[in-house]
Amino acid sequence: MDRISLSNTAFEGNNNAYLLQSNGTTAMVDTGDATEATREHLEEELAERGLTFADIDVVFLTHFHGDHTGLAATIQEASGATVYAHEDDAALISQDPEAQEEMEELQLNYFDEWDIPEDQQAVLKSIMHEDNGLFGAGPDVEPFADGDTFQVGDYEITARHTPGHALGLASFELTVDGENVVASGDALLPVYTPNVGGADVRVEGALGKYLETLLEYIEADYDRAWPGHRDPIEDPAARAATIIDHHEERAWRVLDVLRERGPSTPWEISAELFGDLESIHILHGPGESYAHLEHLEADGYVTREGKEYRLTDAARERMEEIDDERWPLVDQDYEHTL
């Protein structure tokens, strides 16, 4: 895999696009956003390799966010490339109006459900409708499902559905130079933990789905992960275990906020966890709080009345028995990977 690190000042660090070439076929995993600076940077990187957009035969997209899909239509227009994405994200990537309208309606409903103040909702609505340059035109998309395989020259690529951060988030696994590697998109990042809950409000039980994804990464025990942002991950299983630990610590903090302040909304819990938020993080903070509350409610440790959540007696009793301020979220033993 040939990593191209692209500029990105908005999210989790520089985006990555990946090239795979074999027997006259050139594939790309993710494209970066559609800003002029990113387009020029990608063109320069390709030129150094003797390539142009017209030489890209196949584009695999990990999920619908614009910092991963922005240039897909531009490449497709230049080369006729086939653009693949998971079936749950394909309509949003192709910019189907009905899918976009459903997403916006769901977001607006959650803004109210999470008790985001009106002035902060106004900021989010402005962001939703501004032309930030991240999204280009919508490409024609060929949807795939979990387990589908693709041939790129001598390489066989298997798509794995790895939801949580996004409903249609996919990872692509293959063998390169005898190593079992994976292009993880935002399912596994080397520094930040991908946002769950706010990054894609379509995901029901987002935290639970993401924990399952992380356990699958541990089970797969890849030799290396090529993430959507920043540097390669040399021990993906250990990184996945670390992220589970992070969420168990966050679950404790959510419960502790409820224990200390009493019934609270996702927005109020977000303020305790993350402080003042700006820009898109106004969505991500309460979204992540909600993902934890939703998971804890399903397990019977919090209850909900209206917009407020409260601690159950069972949770209070169990918290008294825990001394490491980490709330267990998975039953499976994964400690050996740390």
CATH match for 2-94+131-241 among 3.60.15.10, 3.40.50.300, 3.30.70.20, 3.30.110.30: 3.60.15.10
Radius of gyration of the chain (CA): 20
Whether the predicted pLDDT of 84 surpasses 50: yes
Q: How confident is the model at residue 13 (pLDDT cuts 50, 70, 90)?
A: low
Cβ contacts of residue 80 below 8 Å, gap of 6+? none
Whether the predicted pLDDT of 131 surpasses 90: no
pLDDT of residue 336: 42
* 173: β partners: 158, 182
Domain ranges in the chain are 2-94+131-241
Whether the predicted pLDDT of 132 surpasses 80: no
Mean pLDDT for the stretch of residues 193-210: 97
pLDDT of residue 337: 42
Mean pLDDT for the stretch of residues 82-98: 98
CA distance 172 to 29: 9
Mean pLDDT for the stretch of residues 266-289: 96
Reduced to 3 DSSP states, what percent helix, strand and coil does the chain have, rounded to the nearest 5?
A: 40, 20, 40
pLDDT tens, 25-42? 999 999 999 999 999 999
Q: How confident is the model at residue 295 (pLDDT cuts 50, 70, 90)?
A: very high
Do strands 149-152 and 155-161 pair parallel, antiparallel, or not at all (unpaired)?
Answer: antiparallel
Lowest average pLDDT, out of 35-44, 85-94, 137-146, 326-335, goes to: 326-335
CA distance 114 to 132: 25
pLDDT tens, 38-57? 999 999 999 999 999 999 99
Mean pLDDT for the stretch of residues 90-95: 98
Cβ 164 vs Cβ 196: under 8 Å: yes
Cβ 59 vs Cβ 34: under 8 Å: no
pLDDT tens, 271-280? 999 999 999 9
Mean pLDDT for the stretch of residues 6-29: 86
Tell me how far CA of residue 198 lies from CA of 4, 236, 282, 304, 336, in angstroms: 28, 24, 9, 19, 31
